[in-house]
């Protein structure tokens, strides 16, 4: 007997608390599963890929990796969302700084400049345990860094917030003081683009409003 599902569930294939906060603030309580994808291996399997190809491939690999961790009642009717982001500054790909010294160097360069944040999403449409359709796309956003003093950078690094995040900044935390603005989608800078996710879902025949908790 098929499992009756009243409504489609959204699965977030990410351990990022920032992405989860964005979704919850936007009315969705997702099922959260963390993928253990070997990102280097996925990227290495692509032939001469553009950055957009890389983030979408990684997003899809993450989404597919969590399928085995989902219960049958979720797999009966779900959309599984994978996400990947990369920040470019001055032509270079910028990751997590890891140490205070690297974070300090980054901010000395970034202060007063602009970076490009590329976010990729892949969504798997799952019904009765099978992936029946997929959609993927990217969003590019310009981030404008404020003119930050060495004293401000030191105080920011002392909080440890910038050490664990790509690009050594957040938009939705303490880093918000040091960003003069964005040209593009702010939610994609935090890690999950709401308008791109909505458009991809629509292409898969799913209305985002049907995923909101208030309509369940």
CA dist 57 to 76, 133, 165, Å?
24, 15, 21
What is the bridge-based pairing of β-strands 92-94 and 9-12?
unpaired
Catalytic residue, chosen from 40, 84, 133, 172, is 84
Quick count: other Cβ atoms within 10 Å of Cβ 137? 19
Kindly tell me which residue out of 117, 187, 191, 200 binds a second copy, with binding defined by CB under 8 A. Answer: 187
Decide: is 100 part of the binding site for a second copy (CB under 8 A).
Answer: no
Identify whether 84 is a catalytic site residue: yes
Minimum CB separation from a second copy for residue 178, in Å? 7
Q: What is the distance between the alpha carbons of residues 65 and 42, in angstroms, rounded to a whole number?
A: 12
Closest to a second copy by CB, 24 vs 109, is: 24
Half-sphere exposure of 62 (CA within 13 A, CB side): 29
What is the bridge-based pairing of β-strands 114-127 and 130-145?
antiparallel
Which residue pairs from 34-42 have beta carbons closer than 8 angstroms and sit at least 24 positions apart in sequence? 34/66, 35/61, 35/62, 35/63, 35/65, 35/66, 35/82, 36/65, 37/61, 37/62, 37/65
Joined tokens for residue 141? 């956003």
Minimum CB separation from a second copy for residue 52, in Å? 17
Could you tell me which stretch among 20-28, 61-69, 76-84, 89-97 binds a second copy (CB under 8 A)?
20-28
Q: What is the distance between the alpha carbons of residues 45 and 133, in angstroms, rounded to a whole number?
A: 22
Could you tell me which stretch among 61-69, 70-78, 117-125, 151-159 binds a second copy (CB under 8 A)?
151-159
Kindly tell me which residue out of 3, 108, 155, 164 binds a second copy, with binding defined by CB under 8 A. Answer: 155
Decide: is 195 part of the binding site for a second copy (CB under 8 A).
Answer: yes
Could you tell me which stretch among 61-69, 100-108, 129-137, 154-162 binds a second copy (CB under 8 A)?
154-162
In terms of Cα–Cα distance, which of 197, 93, 185 is closest to 143? 185
Decide: is 178 part of the binding site for a second copy (CB under 8 A).
Answer: yes
Instruction: List the interface residues with a second copy, window 23-42 (CB under 8 A).
Output: 25-27
> Residue holding tokens 């950055």?
51
Decide: is 205 part of the binding site for a second copy (CB under 8 A).
Answer: no
Q: Which residue ranges make up the site for a second copy (CB under 8 A)?
A: 22, 25-27, 141, 146, 151-152, 155-156, 158-159, 171-174, 176-187, 194-195, 197-198, 207-209, 212, 214-215
Catalytically annotated residues: 84
């Amino acid at each position: 007997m098929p499992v009756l599902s009243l409504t489609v569930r959204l699965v977030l294939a990410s351990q990022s608390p920032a992405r989860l906060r964005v979704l919850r603030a936007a009315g969705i309580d997702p099922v959260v599963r963390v993928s253990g994808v070997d990102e280097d291996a996925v990227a290495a399997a692509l032939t001469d890929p553009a950055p957009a190809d890389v983030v979408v491939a990684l997003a899809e690999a993450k989404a597919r990796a969590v399928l085995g961790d989902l219960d049958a009642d979720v797999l009966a009717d779900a959309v599984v969302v994978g996400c990947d982001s990369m920040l470019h500054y001055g032509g270079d790909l910028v990751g997590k700084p890891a140490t205070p010294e690297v974070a300090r160097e980054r901010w000395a360069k970034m202060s007063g400049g602009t970076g490009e944040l590329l976010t990729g999403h892949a969504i798997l449409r799952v019904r009765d345990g099978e992936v029946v359709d997929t959609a993927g796309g990217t969003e590019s956003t310009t981030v404008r860094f404020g003119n930050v003093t060495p004293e401000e950078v030191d105080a920011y690094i002392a909080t440890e917030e910038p050490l664990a995040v790509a690009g050594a900044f957040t938009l939705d935390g303490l880093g918000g003081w040091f960003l003069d603005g964005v040209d593009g989608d702010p939610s994609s800078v935090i890690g999950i683009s709401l308008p791109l996710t909505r458009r991809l879902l629509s292409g898969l025949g799913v209305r985002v409003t049907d995923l909101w908790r208030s309509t369940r």
